[in-house]
Amino acid sequence: MADENKDENKSSEELETDQRNSERAKISLPESIILIMLSLSADTLEAFSLWASVAIDIGGIAWIIWLMAFVFGLFVSLIIITWAFLRNVHGGLIIKRLLLWFTADILTAGILPIRTLALIIAIWLNNRLESENLKKTLTLLSKIK
């Protein structure tokens, strides 16, 4: 209730600034596509290399390939977490969830596409929460004008 009163006391300029910031805080489609492609490639590489290491183990070389794919997956996870941190994806709440999901991905040795699913959920949550903030700001703007 106190938040609503605080928002109603804002001037139209402050509300328009909030509207622009909320639109800017959404994760854009190109960003989403690039990150999902990166994440999907890491998950696919990990899954296929693990399958190959189990199915066709030729002198332990397949396990080395899986280990390289696993390290690549960790590197991709680090890129995504760094991007989310620098982008300030919805105040750190989603970053904590990404860390939890990526830990689950590490524990399953990359055989499930957890990284990609976590990223898609994080993007959806961030954009949905920002849309709610934007709708609230637009409603207050329409009351003023």
Q: Is the pTM of this model over 0.75?
A: no
- pLDDT digit of tens for each residue in the chain (145 aa)? 445 545 555 666 665 665 555 555 677 888 889 999 999 999 899 888 878 777 776 667 777 888 888 899 889 988 988 888 777 766 566 677 777 878 888 788 777 888 888 888 888 877 777 666 656 655 655 666 5
Give the number of other CB atoms < 10 A from CB of residue 44: 14
Q: What is the pLDDT of residue 1?
A: 44
Q: Computed from CA positions of residues 7, 12, 15, 19, in that sequence, does the dihedral angle turn out positive or negative?
A: positive
Distance CA 136, CA 119 (A): 26
Phi and psi angles of residue 60, each rounded to the nearest 5 degrees, phi first? 80, 0
Residue type, 47: A
Q: What is the pLDDT of residue 62?
A: 77
Task: Indicate the domain borders of the chain.
Answer: 28-144
